[in-house]
Every structure is written in structure tokens, then in C-alpha cells.
């Protein structure tokens, strides 16, 4: 056992003396700083921005929307530019801008391009919010239709008739006489499967650790790279290579742990350390197996890059596709990064 600890210490010392080690650490830190400044929309983000570039008519609709009971948290903006920035930054789920000329178009019966819907590819609740927004617009629009209909049918604006029609219209809108839902409650099985969140920093740490090991694995195909192993038995050669993979990723692993705790979205210290050790161990075994399966450098690199791309897709690093594709959660357990994130 002490022999392996000495091997680890020596390989770590040799690796830390190389310039490439510190260049990798600097690049690692810069990439993590970039990732830490990325704001993805939160899954439970219910904030929606509203902005009017028109007059009081649009403002009154926004006021109605903000005062109504809703599961969404509506916020009014005075600038469409600020609204767009907050959508991109993930501060709000999406936004709606009532364009200039909104009132004029509505009264003319023209509903094209009256509202700009601001969203990102990650917006999930936009279509639901649209129904809320347009239901309020329809209330105003229906009043205009009533006013026009009274004039067309009776030849003039009869205030008494118009009031009666508006009252009846409000009764239809608020009641359930013409549109009634029958609520049926069904029992739900207890969820035994763990729900995974987006682990962006942990995911990047896992990917980079695996990439560094793959880069080291490439060197095994170069002539003379295995000369030191000739003095060892076959079993010792494999253990030596395994320890080498662990040693060269230790500095980056420490930097990754610090970054994870700086972000604050982490498991406990013990859990993170254990998870990282398992990541490094499983990744080292993965690369060892790949170097034995493929005798050609090109094939090794191709397969390695394919594995990295698959990990970026199936693991909850930037987006959790298990919400849309059933079975992905189980596939992750065949991946080092997937196991690391799911611990």
C-alpha cells in the first residue's frame, strides 16, 4: 500500500513541475469563472416582465394582469431593453412588450404584431403565460367589438344597451355557465426516483477531469511512453497508470472543489470530496480500458471525443433532457460524469 502512495506522491510531484500543469490549471480557472457567470433560468422561476410602449390603453391591461390572481409573478418595466436583458440573464422567465400603436390596432380589429414575446431557447412556461396575457387582451377587445356592434345594429351608441351588453359580457367572462371544468382527482404514486437539478460547475469539473485523463491516455500511444513500465509486472503497470491518471488530475480537482464551494450550489464538503474521488477513479478506469481496447491513436481520440459529447448531452450540466426523454436517467449510470452528478 505504501508503495502505491509513494508512486502517487512522485507522479504528482513530477506533474506539478511541468509548465503544462500550471497552464491547464490557469485555463481551468478561467473556464470555471466563465461558467460561474452564466445565468440559466431557474426551474421554479415564475417571474414575467411586462412593458408598454403605447399609451394608457396598454397600461390599463398591464394593470389588470398584475392585479389578477395568478401563479406567475408579473413585473412592469419602463424599458423594453431592460426587459430583454433580464430575460437573457435568467432573472425573469419571459417578457411581453406592448408595441407602439397597440390601442389603435386593437380598435381597428388588427391584432397582428401588437405584442412582442421575448424569450430564450430555455424558456419553458411562455406558452402558458401567453394564455394569461391574451385572455386580458380579449376582455378589452371584446368591449370594442360590443361598442362597434351596438353602432352597427342600432345605428347609434345607445349607452343603456351598451351597459347591459358589457355587464352580460362580464358575467360570461367571470362565470362558468358556458365553460365549466369538472375536476377529477386521481391518486399519484410516490416518486421513488431522484430528481436531478442542473449541476453546471460540477459538470464542467467532471468533463475537464475526464478530458485531462484522455489527453494523458493519448500519450500512451507515443513511442517510449511505456518504457518505465518495462520494469514492472503487468498488474503493477496497470496500477501505475491508474495512479498516474489520478495524480495528474489532483490539482484540477482541488481547484474544481474550491469553485464548487465558491458558487455555493453544492452538496456537503464530505459528499463533494467523495464524489470527486469516485469521479477520478471511475474516469481513470474508463481511460485505462479505452487504451487497452484501441491500439490506434486516431480511434482512441475519436471514441474519447464521442464520449465527451454524449456526456454533455445526457448529463444535467446545461440542461436536463431526462425531463423530455425517458430512460436517460438510467443511461447516465454508464458514464463517469453521470455517476458523479447523480451521487
Q: Do residues 259 and 317 share a domain?
A: yes
Say if residue 280 is in the same domain as residue 310.
Answer: yes
167 and 64 in one domain? yes
- Residue 75 bridge partners (DSSP): 49
* 189 in a structural domain: no
Higher pLDDT, 333 or 162: 333
State whether 207 and 303 are in the same domain. yes
Domain end call among 173, 207, 222: 173
Same-domain check for residues 228 and 162: no
For residue 125, is it within any domain? yes
Let me know if residue 185 belongs to a domain: no
- CATH code at position 139: 3.40.1710
- 267 and 288 in a single domain? The answer is yes
Distance from C-alpha of 129 to C-alpha of 95, rounded to nearest angstrom: 9
Among 19-23, 126-130, 173-177, 265-269, which is the least confidently predicted range? 173-177
The total of structural domains in the chain comes to 2
Which residue range is the domain that position 271 belongs to?
2-39+198-342
Note whether 163 and 298 are same-domain residues: no
Instruction: Check whether 189 has a pLDDT greater than 70.
Output: no
- Identify which of 31-40, 84-93, 173-182 has the greatest average pLDDT: 84-93
78 and 104: one domain? yes
Q: Which residue has the higher pLDDT, 145 or 91?
A: 91
In a domain, 179, yes or no: no
Amino acid at each position: 500500500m505504501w508503495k502505491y502512495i509513494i508512486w502517487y506522491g512522485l507522479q504528482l510531484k513530477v506533474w506539478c513541475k511541468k509548465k503544462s500543469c500550471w497552464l491547464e490549471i490557469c485555463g481551468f480557472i478561467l473556464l470555471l469563472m466563465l461558467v460561474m457567470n452564466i445565468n440559466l433560468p431557474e426551474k421554479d422561476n415564475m417571474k414575467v416582465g411586462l412593458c408598454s410602449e403605447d399609451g394608457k390603453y396598454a397600461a390599463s391591461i398591464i394593470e389588470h394582469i398584475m392585479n389578477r390572481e395568478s401563479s406567475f409573478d408579473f413585473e412592469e418595466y419602463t424599458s423594453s431593453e431592460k426587459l430583454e436583458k433580464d430575460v437573457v440573464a435568467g432573472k425573469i422567465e419571459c417578457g411581453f412588450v406592448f408595441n407602439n400603436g397597440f390601442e389603435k390596432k386593437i380598435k381597428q380589429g388588427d391584432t397582428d404584431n401588437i405584442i412582442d414575446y421575448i424569450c430564450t431557447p430555455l424558456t419553458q412556461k411562455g406558452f402558458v403565460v401567453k394564455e394569461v396575457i391574451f385572455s386580458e387582451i380579449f376582455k378589452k377587445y371584446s368591449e370594442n367589438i360590443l361598442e362597434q356592434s351596438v353602432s352597427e345594429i342600432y345605428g347609434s351608441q345607445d349607452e343603456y344597451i351598451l351597459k347591459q351588453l358589457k355587464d352580460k359580457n362580464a358575467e360570461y367572462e367571470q362565470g362558468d355557465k358556458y365553460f365549466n371544468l369538472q375536476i377529477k382527482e386521481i391518486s399519484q404514486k410516490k416518486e421513488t426516483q431522484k430528481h436531478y437539478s442542473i449541476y453546471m460547475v460540477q459538470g464542467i469539473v467532471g468533463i475537464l477531469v475526464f478530458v485531462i485523463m484522455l489527453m494523458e491516455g493519448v500519450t500512451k500511444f507515443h513511442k517510449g511512453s511505456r518504457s518505465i513500465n518495462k520494469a514492472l509486472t503487468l498488474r503493477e503497470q496497470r496500477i501505475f497508470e491508474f495512479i498516474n491518471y489520478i495524480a495528474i488530475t489532483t490539482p484540477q480537482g482541488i481547484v474544481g472543489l474550491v469553485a464548487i464551494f465558491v458558487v455555493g450550489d453544492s452538496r456537503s464538503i464530505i459528499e463533494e470530496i467523495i464524489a470527486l474521488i469516485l469521479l477520478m477513479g471511475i474516469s481513470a478506469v474508463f481511460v485505462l480500458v479505452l487504451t487497452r481496447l484501441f491500439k490506434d491513436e486516431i480511434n482512441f481520440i475519436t471514441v474519447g471525443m464521442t464520449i465527451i459529447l454524449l456526456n454533455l448531452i445526457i448529463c444535467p450540466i446545461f440542461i436536463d433532457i431526462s425531463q423530455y426523454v425517458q430512460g436517460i436517467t438510467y443511461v447516465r449510470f454508464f458514464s463517469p460524469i453521470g455517476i458523479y452528478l447523480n451521487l
